[in-house]
Amino acid sequence: MLVLGIESSAHTFGVGIVDGGRVLANEKAMYKIGTKGMIPREVAQTHISNCNAVISAALSKAGIKINEIEGIGYTKGPGIGTCLQVGQLAAKTIAARLCVPIAPVNHGIGHIEIARIMSGLKDPVALYVSGGNSQILKLSKASRRRYTVLGETFDIGVGNMFDTFARSIKLDPAWGSTVEKTAEGGKYVPMPYTVKGMDFSFTGLLTHASRLAASHRKQDVCFSMRETSFSMLCEATERAMLLSGSSEICVCGGVAQSARLREMLKAVADEHGARFGFAANEFNADNGGMIAFVAERMLTRGAEEKLRDCTIEQRYRIDSAEVFA
């Protein structure tokens, strides 16, 4: 089934085209974050002006015409309301115009499912780490129709911690990957380490790092923040894997682009003889491909939504979304 998916939950407006689980196109345009972060109204306006160009780019990349599309998917949530609305409106317009079925997709399910399936894992413990989310999940044993949250952040997502810190020490562009670059060659200074069972918390670490930044070398603080937060995630993931009896780990979401995080999780998996997998970076960053990918699985199993019920939900919980695993 030829499905077009639209992602617009945060700074990325992405359009993906999928056919039979193969991603034919995955185009995107991003809001330039600068040193100020995201201003919701401005991000949404940027998405509106990029919308047509990105859709056209995806269609020509896939070598198809718009009227060949057989189904539409869009991100229902979670995300920034104004941004979600842009993708929702575009998706509904195309679906109505072409008279094709439409499926609302949970953003997090998009990340996890594409990582899980592309890396060939069956029943992994999934670490989903991005700006807005940091959770450890696993398909529910009984039905495999929902993801169960085994552990999650008590406060902010780990990516949010990096982004906020990047802004506070005026890195440009102000986000996590710049912190990671700055961390190279840094030395470790002690930081607060907060893991409770399979849950974790990052605000204490953020506050402490911001204070240390005044008196320490940037690279040392960035290095220590990265090492501490990733160690916390690894410990919680390791515990979740052992307690749930899984022998597979997969990582997804924006922060999964970090080579260091992947190296550490690989070490966790190796210690227990477990398999470790992740998707290509284009699917870890926000993208339309994963939305099209999940939408196709939904539509081929008859999970289409009536146009008038195609809403957005800023706090769309990942464990309330139905999965077709």
Partner 1 sequence: MTKPISEGAESRIYPTEIFGIDAIAKVRGPKAYRVPLLDVSIRSTRTKKEAKIMALALSHGVRVPRLLGVSDYSIYMEKIHGNLMKDAKISGKQAEMAGTLLATLHNAGIVHGDFTPANILIGEDGKLYLIDFGLSEISHGAEGRALDLLLIKRQMGVRLYTKFVKNYSQGVPSAREIIKRLAEIEKRGRYQTRTLG
| Contact call for residue 134 and partner 1 (CB under 8 A) | no
Measured CA to CA, the distance from residue 292 to residue 87 in angstroms comes to 13
Instruction: Name the helix (H) or strand (E) containing 127.
Output: strand 125-129
Which is nearer to partner 1, 24 or 234 (by Cβ)?
Answer: 234
Q: How far is the CB of 268 from partner 1 (least distance, A)?
A: 6
Among residues 197, 207, 211, 307, which is the contact residue for partner 1, using CB under 8 A? Answer: 197
Which is nearer to partner 1, 126 or 264 (by Cβ)?
Answer: 264
Instruction: Name the helix (H) or strand (E) containing 126.
Output: strand 125-129
Mask of contacts with partner 1, 152-191, x by CB under 8 A? x-x---------------------------------x-x-
Across the beta sheet with 275-278, what order do the strands follow? 147-152, 134-139, 125-129, 248-252, 275-278
Residue pair 274/260 in contact (Cβ under 8 Å)? The answer is: no
Residue pair 227/189 in contact (Cβ under 8 Å)? The answer is: no
Main-chain phi, psi angles of 196, to 5 degrees: -125, 100
| Contact call for residue 317 and partner 1 (CB under 8 A) | yes
| Contact call for residue 235 and partner 1 (CB under 8 A) | yes
Mask of contacts with partner 1, 240-279, x by CB under 8 A? --xx-------------------xxx-xx-xx--------
Among residues 8, 164, 177, 228, which is the contact residue for partner 1, using CB under 8 A? Answer: 228
Among residues 70, 123, 227, 305, which is the contact residue for partner 1, using CB under 8 A? Answer: 227
Among residues 85, 140, 231, 244, which is the contact residue for partner 1, using CB under 8 A? Answer: 231
Query: The tokens 């160009």 sit on which residue?
Result: 53
Query: The tokens 């015409």 sit on which residue?
Result: 65
Residue pair 161/205 in contact (Cβ under 8 Å)? The answer is: yes
List the one residue out of 51, 53, 55 whose CA is nearest residue 69: 55
Which is nearer to partner 1, 32 or 196 (by Cβ)?
Answer: 196
Secondary structure (3-state) at 15: strand
Q: Which residues bind partner 1 (CB under 8 A)?
A: 149, 152, 154, 188, 190, 193-194, 196-197, 201, 227-228, 230-231, 234-235, 238-239, 242-243, 263-265, 267-268, 270-271, 315, 317
